[in-house]
Amino acid sequence: MRPAELDRVTVAEAADRYVELVRARTVTGALSPASAEVYARDVATLVELAGADVVLDDLTGADVDAILLAFARRPDGRTARARDGRAGAGGGAQAGAGQSPSSQARFRRSISALFKHATLAGWVQINPMTRSTVTARQRGGLRAERRALTREQAQGLIGAARELREAPPEHGKRRDQRTELRDAVIVLLLATVGPRVSELVRANVEDFFTNDGVRYWRIFGKGGRTRDVPLPGDVARVLQAYLEQEREPRRESDPRDGRDDGKALLLSWRGRRLARGDVQAVIDRVQRRVDPDRRRSVTPHGLRHTTATHLLADAVDMDAVRRVLGHSDLSTLGRYRDELPGELEVAMRSHPLLRDRPAP
């Protein structure tokens, strides 16, 4: 039950009150005008990303994750202007991808300060920043924490990927521009087989073969090691549908411009091999189809953690899990085994020493 003194202000109202307070501090010299304007700009961005009419107290840690990652992926206007200037002078600088790590860290500090004030002012019961799983990296910007999804979250994501097989085409897209089956294959392979993202984007169609009725993926991993991993039946069926309905028509109809992407498993709608950076966008797109109560931001490596965690939690042989993930020894599995809510309680309820007790 909410306390009587809780002030259910919207994000826009809270932002206006906070910015007014910040600017007032410049009068006393506690804050420079330039710093106050930086805070105001970041808070305005928060309003844009969170939604002006959303009640501030309704924001959860998952919402903060989405806001931080959405900001991180926004184009950096300063980088674009600098690039355009170099291009005009004959330079060929490559486009920057999203905000710089320093800008991401600054934005995080700005909204952290707002939520800290909101907690003291009675605008929120719990500071949602304390529930965020996005961590700050000194040289890598903001990233979703590489930890496993819970069973409910993983099943929600897998369910959304399965439904893509029957999804209607997006408005305005031609048949050869559809990517629903490809997106489903990406999420299902990451969540059930747990490959490294580099192994996934390097995969070729010829790496998948059938033996005795079972579909296998020959994965080329680190150190020149290969492993043959059997695919779950559902995953194999979606893969086959993608190969027949999306990939082959696209490969035949789109020009290569001299590039040899014809063998690649995962192609863009233009017929190019997908890059590592494209995979996160696919996961985020599928996540938007998941019920909000079962949704949590996750990276490709987080899905690798998810595979390891749930296979081990289900008492799958450790050496079999090691071979699925492509590790050289069992000790490495410790880094991929995350705790799950309630798993200790389940383990103690089914304690092996208390099974088949003799009748009293």
Single out the residue of 136, 131, 160, 152 nearest to residue 62, CA to CA: 131
Does the annotation count 171 as an active-site position?
no
Q: Look at residues 20, 18, 21, 8 and name the one whose alpha carbon lies nearest to residue 54.
A: 8
Active-site position among 196, 215, 295, 305: 196
Active site residue 202: no
Q: Considering the candidates 182, 295, 304, 310, report the single residue annotated as catalytic.
A: 304
Q: Is 242 a catalytic residue?
A: no
| Rounded distance between C-alpha atoms, residue 342 and residue 133, angstroms | 19
327 is catalytic: yes
Angle at 133 between CA 161 and CA 283, to 5 degrees: 20
Active-site hit among 41, 74, 301, 337: 301
User: How distant is the alpha carbon of residue 26 from its chain centre?
Assistant: 39
186 closest CA partner among 269, 286, 73: 286
For 217, half-sphere exposure in the C-beta direction (CA atoms, 13 angstrom radius) is 29
Q: Considering 18, 39, 242, 336, which one is annotated as catalytic?
A: 336
Question: Distance between CA 222 and CA 185 in Å, rounded?
Answer: 22
Active site residue 196: yes
Assess whether 301 carries a catalytic annotation. Answer: yes
State the Cα–Cα distance between residues 266 and 203, nearest whole angstrom. Answer: 8
Phi-psi region of 263 (alpha: psi -120 to 50; beta: other; left: phi over 0): alpha
Residue of 182, 202, 295, 327 with catalytic role: 327
CB 40 within 8 A of CB 19: yes
Instruction: Please tell me which residue in 116, 137, 175, 222 is annotated as part of the active site.
Output: 222
**Structural contact between residues 240 and 234, judged by C-beta atoms closer than 8 angstroms:** no
Q: Which residues are catalytic?
A: 196, 222, 301, 304, 327, 336
